[in-house]
Copies of this chain bind each other. A is one copy, B any other.
Amino acid sequence: MRIPILKLYDCLLVSIQWELDDATALQFQEDLLQKIHETSANGVVIDITSIDFIDSFIAKVLGDVFSMSKLMGAKVVITGIQPAVAITLIELGISLDDVMTALDLEKGLEKLQQELGE
């Protein structure tokens, strides 16, 4: 299973709507970085509204994806972090300090476009 990555103007949109298994998460990491490279995207919005539980491996992979995307020059906005996911991320020390967050996809996209417009 692979997660589709949509290109909309200079941003990439990803919606993770089902719990990720380890292989899918790693494949997603590779696909996203490849897509950033291919499309020269300036920003990425990752919506995880539907995820209400993540384990430590997935949390680490997600944390890595954010850092890697930033290294490649793309700003990342995460939207729809659920309470349990927020707890897991912080408890695992994945602070996402420099990652922007928003309530939903629309707000995330607006935030990103504001940020990119500056």
Contact = CB atoms under 8 A, between A and B. Distances in A.
Contact of A6 (B7, B13, B18): B13
Contacts of A71: none
A89 interface: no
B3 A4 contact: yes
Contacts of A1: 1
Interface residues of A, number: 18
A38 B106 CA distance: 17
Contacts of A106: 8-9
A116 to B, nearest CB: 16
Interface string A89-118: 000000000000000011001000000000
A15 interface: yes
Interface of A: 1-9, 13, 15-18, 47, 105-106, 109
